[in-house]
Amino acid sequence: EVQLVESGGGLIQPGGSLRLSCVASGFTFSSYAMSWVRLAPGKGLEWVSAVRVHSAFTLYADSVKGRFTVSRDDSKNTLYLQINYLGVEDTAVYYCAKDGQRYYDFDYWGQGTQVTVSS
């Protein structure tokens, strides 16, 4: 059974940093691209970042470019998202999602970790 478990969220002041983690199980993690997607209050889902297999390529939404860094440790079956210079607009539930290896769909998602940016 595929499982994705996020952690690392919390209440953080504007300008602060966080590192989110997503531990994967039930599939060969190293063989799949992975993404982070967030859901802000009152808004729709927003794709944030993706990393291809072997960390060969990373991609970011314009809204987070330069502040967020995605990485993966295939030896630990873990996906990371380093978030710097947090703003209130980054308040959201952050989900990790597994690539479906078809046409840019996400076939499994975690339950998310809440990030709240507030002074």
Partner 1 sequence: QSALTQPPSASGSPGQSVTISCTGSNSDVGAYPSVSWYQHYPGKAPKLIIYEVSKRPSGVPDRFSGSKSGNTASLTVSGLQAEDEADYYCSSHAGINTWAVFGGGTKLTVL
Query: CA–CA separation, 36 vs 80, rounded Å?
Result: 9
Using CB under 8 A, count the residues that bind partner 1. Answer: 25
> Is residue 44 a contact residue for partner 1 (CB under 8 A)?
yes
> Is residue 4 a contact residue for partner 1 (CB under 8 A)?
yes
Q: Which of 12, 18, 22, 50 binds partner 1 (CB under 8 A)?
A: 50
> Is residue 94 a contact residue for partner 1 (CB under 8 A)?
no
Residue list 13-42, contact with partner 1 (CB under 8 A) = 35, 37
Contact 48, 38 (CB under 8 A): yes
Strand-pairing partners, residue 17, are none
**Secondary structure (DSSP) of 55-102:** G--EEE-TTTTTTEEEEEETTTTEEEEEE-S--GGG-EEEEEEEE-SS
Q: Which residues bind partner 1 (CB under 8 A)?
A: 4, 35, 37, 43-47, 50, 59, 61, 95, 97, 100, 102-112
